[in-house]
Structure 1
Amino acid sequence: MAENIEVEPLGEHDYLVRARYPEGVAESRFRAGPNLLEQLGASPADEQRLVEHSASYLLAHQPVIDLPPMVDLEDLAAVYDGYLAEMRKAMTGP
């Protein structure tokens, strides 16, 4: 599991995610489309927070070193059955 995650906005729904772990840093580009935000009932202002939660979710399911170079959040929703429910909970929680 990553010790910490940094999310840097790149514009146009793209983000650079850096996951630091004891052996180094893994970087991946994440894409958050407006359709997923709408599906989750989140506003565009919540997009970066959704990426942060999504990166944590993904890293809970696979090792940091296996982080793909590009992650589309809609693909996570298609691959992981619990992803949407977990993101709804994360986005509406405190």
Structure 2
Amino acid sequence: MRQTIEVLPMGPHEFAATVGEGQEITHHRVTVAEQVLADLQIPEVDERHLVEETIGYLLDREPGTALSHDIDTDQLYRADDSYLTELRDRLLGRG
């Protein structure tokens, strides 16, 4: 099923993400951690694109309806060893 992701900035390092999967639409608040930005080692990374790729990464593992409303990239980074590597690849167009 085709998924759509819309990301809008809410404030510094905070975004609203809407995920559509068929008739299902979910809403999420995504916080981008400074540590994730630093450890990515990608100068001037577009945080909006980072959020899109983070949502895409999560959707590869579970449906949008299973995603938490609040997504913190720092918690994801600490809990999932492959997150940062795959996120970097996605942001650099290698994923």
> TM-score of the superposition, structure 1-length normalised?
0.88
In 1, are the aligned partners of 2:53 and 2:87 still within 8 Å (CA)? Answer: yes
Q: Aligned partners of 2:40 and 2:2: how far apart in 1? A: 25
- RMSD of aligned alpha carbons: 1.7
**Alignment match, 1:57:** 57
Aligned residue pairs: how many?
94
Q: Aligned partners of 1:90 and 1:22: how far apart in 2? A: 24
Find runs of 4+ consecutive structure 1 residues off by over 6 angstroms. none
Shift of 1:93: 2.6
Shift of 1:2: 5.5
Shift of 1:23: 2.3
Name structure 1 gaps, 5 residues minimum: none
Q: Aligned partners of 2:64 and 2:51: how far apart in 1? A: 16
Name structure 2 gaps, 5 residues minimum: none
Change (3 A) 1:82 1:45: closer
Q: Which structure has greater helix proportion? A: 1
The one-letter amino acid of 2:58's match is L
In 1, are the aligned partners of 2:24 and 2:65 still within 8 Å (CA)? Answer: no
